[in-house]
Structure 1
């Protein structure tokens, strides 16, 4: 252990603080406090590092009282907080946090023009605030950010990442490929042969998995996917509206569209309405997520449900395991999706 200049003698027992112990041990302040208070929810290797730091610095707790344990907290950040998707994930994370006695601090990913945007600034700010780790949802991270969190000793878990700059990054998602396959097979079972795909951003790994599932279902049915039927855009209503318009204005338009999110699907439904088409009589539409939008829509959306609250709960529990120094069995966890049939799909040729 490198320690501080001059070692314990230079620091002195009266000068050493719990914050110095945490820094030398490479752990958060709450973790150092848990070790000194005899808490059992700390990995043995982490406990040993804290105890070594205590001896090296000559740290002595205040006489007659235990160290005050700061409130445990983690950060949860999104690209945006207004979507039903984000709210479902937020619900799962906060419920798991309450059960574990951990506060969840919610925010958004720093933008390039933010003061804390430099990777080291973001990581150091969270470290100084005593966060035990960070959960990032549907955001794009660069390698510098990931490495800065590792250097700061801050565990990181990502949910539905747009990218993974390092394979070692721990992530939580759903069975997106299987979901894309199931959605397309449902439309094929209704007799649809010309099926459009209104997808998410091309760089999004979850969106790519849904696209591959769509293509696999078509190939299995002996159909060749037409390039003109595959479009990409952000996971949002305006993008769904635009993609729906482009698909439905083709010379040979699809009779069904698989949209890569609920919001995208609602945009497709509106595009059909503006063109004088009825859902599902003239066009079948399948969404993905099963947020509250799906049940409030008219008609109610047939969707592939991904368990968003459960994904949030798993992410929080995984982050706490990493903060405790535990070794995970796998870097990526996928929770099962399944089809929910409602009113936005019908047999082909039902006009």
Structure 2
């Protein structure tokens, strides 16, 4: 049977309360007492519980992974699930637990953030309120922002080259000879959405292709929304021959609408997505898309956060992951 705190108290001659204080608040116990208590604990092979260890080390061994409620649950999100899995694996490797929640659910009814004292560090994924970041930083809790960028002093941001990815996708369609290209743009954080739209618009301008506002849609990044808007656009006589969708889920919905309209992908309508999530490989034909290494982002976010927790300097405040066009069957 494992030794208890009572066994340690009996062996060293101090009270149970003093033994507990030696682990929870060692500065409140004399050096002589601490030495006897720790020696007794070692002799009995006694290990304090996780809470006591955390109090001694001033660390909880907990990391919060906070995602915007629109993207929750992260484990089922095509883009964020590999990022979360990589973060969990890196945490497990270092004996840390990952607490996954939403930016909405971390607030108490009075508006306070209830997890501030229970986390050694925080990863925010996607959209986030600057005020929430500031609340954690006021408590000297390290924060890393992933898949977003905010110009805040000392905030480490890990994002992808969204602009470059949009340029690659749009340019590929232009080089295939498409002269009328539509855009189905998902509502993400401003940094993500604006960069992808800008890449699309500037590339069309480079190839002297006009932007037709009738075929640019601002929608929720969901399968149903992609299908619904594409169904409406397909009714137009002068519809585009290609569409750039700013995530794979929207693209899958668009493909569904094309098929149900009796048309073919890519012969009648070419479609390109963004993310290279698992969705791109389960649709038929397989989806041409822009790849973001979400797993690498999750791993890098955790590694950077651990550096911050350890008080190590971080060389770059903004780390950008490159994107890559993956050509498959839809364009």
- In structure 1, the residue matched to 2:43 is none
Does residue 199 of the first structure (1) align with residue 192 of the second (2)?
no
Q: Structure 1 pair 167/270, CA: closer, same or farther in 2 (3 Å)? A: farther
- In structure 2, the residue matched to 1:69 is 53
CA apart distance, 1:287:
0.7
The Cα offsets for residues 162-192 of structure 1, whole Å up to 9 and x where unpaired, read as x737464322111110000000111111111
Does residue 99 of the first structure (1) align with residue 93 of the second (2)?
yes
Does residue 115 of the first structure (1) align with residue 104 of the second (2)?
no
Does residue 279 of the first structure (1) align with residue 265 of the second (2)?
yes
Retained in 2: the 8 A contact 1:110–1:116? no
Distance, in Å, in 1 between the alignment partners of 2:25 and 2:219 is 48
Equivalent of 2:172 in 186, 196, 205: 186
Distance, in Å, in 2 between the alignment partners of 1:188 and 1:286 is 12
Alignment map for 1:149-228 (pairs within 5 Å): 149-161=136-148, 164=150, 166=152, 168-201=154-187, 204-228=190-214
The Cα offsets for residues 133-164 of structure 1, whole Å up to 9 and x where unpaired, read as 111212332x3212111111111112223x73
The Cα offsets for residues 195-229 of structure 1, whole Å up to 9 and x where unpaired, read as 11111217531121111111121111122222222
Alignment map for 1:261-280 (pairs within 5 Å): 261-280=247-266
- In structure 2, the residue matched to 1:133 is 121
Retained in 1: the 8 A contact 2:185–2:246? yes
Number of residue pairs the alignment of both structures matches: 291
Does residue 322 of the first structure (1) align with residue 315 of the second (2)?
no
Retained in 1: the 8 A contact 2:126–2:189? no
- In structure 1, the residue matched to 2:3 is none
Structure 2 unaligned spans of 5+: 1-17, 40-47, 55-59
Query: Of the two, which has the highest radius of gyration?
Result: 2
CA apart distance, 1:14:
10
The Cα offsets for residues 100-156 of structure 1, whole Å up to 9 and x where unpaired, read as 3322222222249x53672xx32xx33332x21111212332x32121111111111
- In structure 1, the residue matched to 2:221 is 235
Distance, in Å, in 2 between the alignment partners of 1:85 and 1:180 is 17
Alignment map for 1:3-18 (pairs within 5 Å): none
Retained in 1: the 8 A contact 2:127–2:188? no
Q: Structure 1 pair 280/152, CA: closer, same or farther in 2 (3 Å)? A: same
CA apart distance, 1:247:
2.9
- 1:164 partner SS: coil
- 2:171 partner SS: helix
Retained in 2: the 8 A contact 1:18–1:59? no
CA apart distance, 1:296:
0.6
TM-score scaled by length of structure 1: 0.75
Retained in 1: the 8 A contact 2:178–2:242? yes
Distance, in Å, in 1 between the alignment partners of 2:160 and 2:280 is 18
Distance, in Å, in 1 between the alignment partners of 2:315 and 2:151 is 20
Distance, in Å, in 1 between the alignment partners of 2:25 and 2:210 is 63
- In structure 2, the residue matched to 1:259 is 245
The Cα offsets for residues 260-299 of structure 1, whole Å up to 9 and x where unpaired, read as 0110100111121222221111100001111111101111
- 2:84 partner SS: helix
TM-score scaled by length of structure 2: 0.79
- 2:244 partner SS: strand
Q: Structure 1 pair 17/222, CA: closer, same or farther in 2 (3 Å)? A: farther
